[in-house]
Copies of this chain bind each other. A is one copy, B any other.
Amino acid sequence: MATGETQIDNGIFRVTKWTIEPGDAIPMHVHEYEYAVVPLVSETMHVINADGSEIVAEIRNGQSYTRPSGAEHTVENRGSRTIEFVEVEKLA
């Protein structure tokens, strides 16, 4: 199961900690807001875009990245260890 814990939602930032257990995924979703991701582990994620294209994302603990709003994808953990990252969305 993939779980999202909302840590902050103050009208400026929405911050969610995501946990994806091995074999699980965050289902297809659209990002309404620009966002930054701070990985808490160094692992491989498989990102399946809505157009069917696939990205193998090598995330590194503490190495952030950003993505524009409009991204639409599934995020899969095909590995054997738990994936955890923090997503920071800019609401306003």
A residues apposed to B, CB below 8 Å: 7-8, 10, 12-13, 15, 17, 34, 36, 38, 40, 61-66, 84, 86, 88, 90
Contacts and interface: CB of A to CB of B under 8 A. Distances in A.
Interface of A is mostly: strand
Given A8-B36, A38-B38, A90-B90, A15 B64 contact: yes
A5 to B, nearest CB: 9
Contacts of A90: 12-13, 90
B66 A12 contact: yes
Contact of A88 (B40, B61, B63, B88): B88
A8 B38 CA distance: 11
